Structure 1
Amino acid sequence: MATEQSAGWPTRLILAAGFIFLYAPILVLMIYSFNESRLVTVWSGFSTRWYGELLNNQQILGAAWMSVRIAFVSATSALVFGTLASVAIVRFGRFRGKTLFTGMITAPLVMPEVITGLSLLLLFVTLGQLVGWPQERGMATIWIAHTTFNMAYVSVVVSARLREFDTTLEEAAMDLGAGRLAVFFRITLPIIAPALFSGWLLAFTLSLDDLVIASFVSGPGSTTLPMVVFSSVRRGVSPEINALATILVGLVASVSLLSWWLMRRRETQRQRDMQRAALQ
């Protein structure tokens, strides 16, 4: 017993050090967002002044709204295409070109963002010259670019869930007369829903956070929030950026806690249903 307790202390110490290393800078940033001084490293008193300044900054608010719209659309598109790709990879067995198809789907995971952004920029320029679309880079080109690399992340998450899926449930449903489409929507989709939700959240976060690729494929009037923050930080960190970061951290934490609670509740309900079925 003493040996197990003594062996646990180094593990806890390493774990605590890791959490401090990761989250202490974020905590300091959140604290200084309530600093009254314009100097972000000099504490002069508690104030919510910079949150008011942030709400009156039309450039940041406009960029934030554009980033949210792009992230929502690109995450939803990536979820649809990534799920279809996962079904093809996991369920269709071996087919001609499967290795190439799988490699092309997962390539954005290891491709440098600079290469991805430059290749997409050249693609859009070439299409504009050949077919006249896009006439200029903007929200649509950013959406396509984000969908392209987000598909890879969604595909990895959903594929992992599909490989652990108990196919006997689908077989039982088909034995009872359900068609393949009905089985997918009524059996498969609800079971893999947590993976779909996780993939969508991951794609949404990556799109909201992207700077490099968006810088290549954006144009006038399509500035995203990371681009505004980056240009602002180059001139010096503003307390408004601290306030913005605090709001984003709060939103992400709230969504993460909500998703964890929903998945935990769903898993608890599933275990109860299984116990009831076993008793019957």
Structure 2
Amino acid sequence: MVADGDRPASHKAKSTSRAWLQWQFGFTLVMFAFMYLPVLVLAFFSFNESPFASNWQGFSLRWYISMFNDGRILSALQDSLSVALISVLVSSVLGTLMAVGLARYTFPGKSLYQGISYLPLIIPDIAIAVATLVFLASMAIPLSLWTVVAAHMVFCLAYIAVVVSTRLAGLNPYLEEAALDLGATPRQAFIKVLLPELMPAIISGCLLSFVLSMDDLLISSFTAGGGVNTLPMEIFSRVRTGVKPDVNALSAILIMGSGILAFTSEFIRYQSDQRRLRN
């Protein structure tokens, strides 16, 4: 019989590696449970028959039906969709042009401009909200739906530019030069050669920015004028007096929609990367 001290070093290394993997797996499960268990509980109680969020009385769809018949929620949804769609559409154009300009051209102060352009990714939302409000007040610009759109464009543009820049970094830098050598104009080379290659990244960045815009509360609250009420603002105003089942239903739908869009964004980016590797 072989003693523990006589076991081969490879066997001990395998045991240590197996224990380390088991610890990592257990820690990952705990972290996922910590992040997503509250979401599952919220979705579960959105089907509660009881008007009290924490008292289960049976399965029912009454709160989803009530939510879709609620005029305030439908109005808030309209405001949220208007803000998200307009800000994302404008940011997709400006963000793509900014990413291409930073990647393809050299000009004085490029590094400084690049750093400033990506600041919204690391600055807290509360800082952006306060800074935007102070700027609007100093310029005597009245708060409205359009001020919310302008504020959302700040971070939407940065996210789209980052995603497109990542795609640009993996492209052949001589694609446009080849098109120009074959007789294409700079505009034709951009539209017919570069833009199709960037389109998966643009769509992915737009979906990600749309999710962030739909879910934003702080910036919208600080920059919205009278009569403007987005979905996160409506949810926040309702939970201040207690969490109701209709709020659970609305939150569950928002979470599901955001998850679908985020997954679609990552899937498009993954498919684009795989197609590029095959080519």
Instruction: Calculate the TM-score normalised by the size of structure 1.
Output: 0.85
The within-5 A match list for 1:33-44 is 33-44=46-57
Residue 84 (1) aligns with residue 94 (2) = no
Letter in 2 for 1:61: L
Q: What is the deviation of 1:271?
A: 6.4
The whole-number CA distance in structure 1 between the counterparts of 2:122 and 2:270 is: 32
Residues 125/271 of structure 1: CA separation in 2 closer, same or farther (3 Å cut)? closer
- 1:156-211 deviations in Å (ceiling 9; x for gaps): 22222212221133333233222222222222112222221121112111111111
The whole-number CA distance in structure 1 between the counterparts of 2:181 and 2:248 is: 58
Letter in 1 for 2:245: P
1:113 maps to 125
Residue 233 (1) aligns with residue 233 (2) = no
Within the candidate set 86, 110, 116, 1:104 is matched to 116
The whole-number CA distance in structure 2 between the counterparts of 1:152 and 1:262 is: 19
1:190 maps to 196
Structure showing greater radius of gyration is 2
- 1:132-156 deviations in Å (ceiling 9; x for gaps): xx4x311111111111222122222
The whole-number CA distance in structure 2 between the counterparts of 1:204 and 1:8 is: 37
SS in 1 for 2:27: helix
Comparing 5-14 with 152-161, greater Cα deviation is found at 5-14
1:131 maps to none
SS in 2 for 1:192: helix
- 1:209-267 deviations in Å (ceiling 9; x for gaps): 11111111111111111111111111101111110112122323333444555556666
Letter in 1 for 2:127: I
Structure 1: which 5+ residue stretches go unaligned? Answer: 129-133, 275-280
The whole-number CA distance in structure 1 between the counterparts of 2:259 and 2:130 is: 33
Contact map agreement 1:78 1:203 (CA 8 A) in 2: no
- 1:24-81 deviations in Å (ceiling 9; x for gaps): 1111111110011111111111111111111121111110111011101101111111
Quote the sequence identity (%): 38
Comparing 14-23 with 239-248, greater Cα deviation is found at 14-23
Residue 164 (1) aligns with residue 176 (2) = no
Residue 13 (1) aligns with residue 26 (2) = yes
The whole-number CA distance in structure 2 between the counterparts of 1:46 and 1:57 is: 21
Within the candidate set 21, 31, 42, 1:29 is matched to 42
The whole-number CA distance in structure 2 between the counterparts of 1:191 and 1:180 is: 16
The whole-number CA distance in structure 2 between the counterparts of 1:252 and 1:143 is: 19
Contact map agreement 1:117 1:216 (CA 8 A) in 2: yes
Instruction: Calculate the TM-score normalised by the size of structure 2.
Output: 0.86
Residue 140 (1) aligns with residue 153 (2) = no
Letter in 1 for 2:152: H
Within the candidate set 47, 62, 65, 2:60 is matched to 47
The whole-number CA distance in structure 1 between the counterparts of 2:207 and 2:264 is: 12
Contact map agreement 2:207 2:265 (CA 8 A) in 1: no
Letter in 2 for 1:100: L
Q: What is the deviation of 1:116?
A: 2.1
Structure 2: which 5+ residue stretches go unaligned? Answer: 1-9
1:56 maps to 69
Residues 154/256 of structure 1: CA separation in 2 closer, same or farther (3 Å cut)? closer
Comparing 212-221 with 148-157, greater Cα deviation is found at 148-157
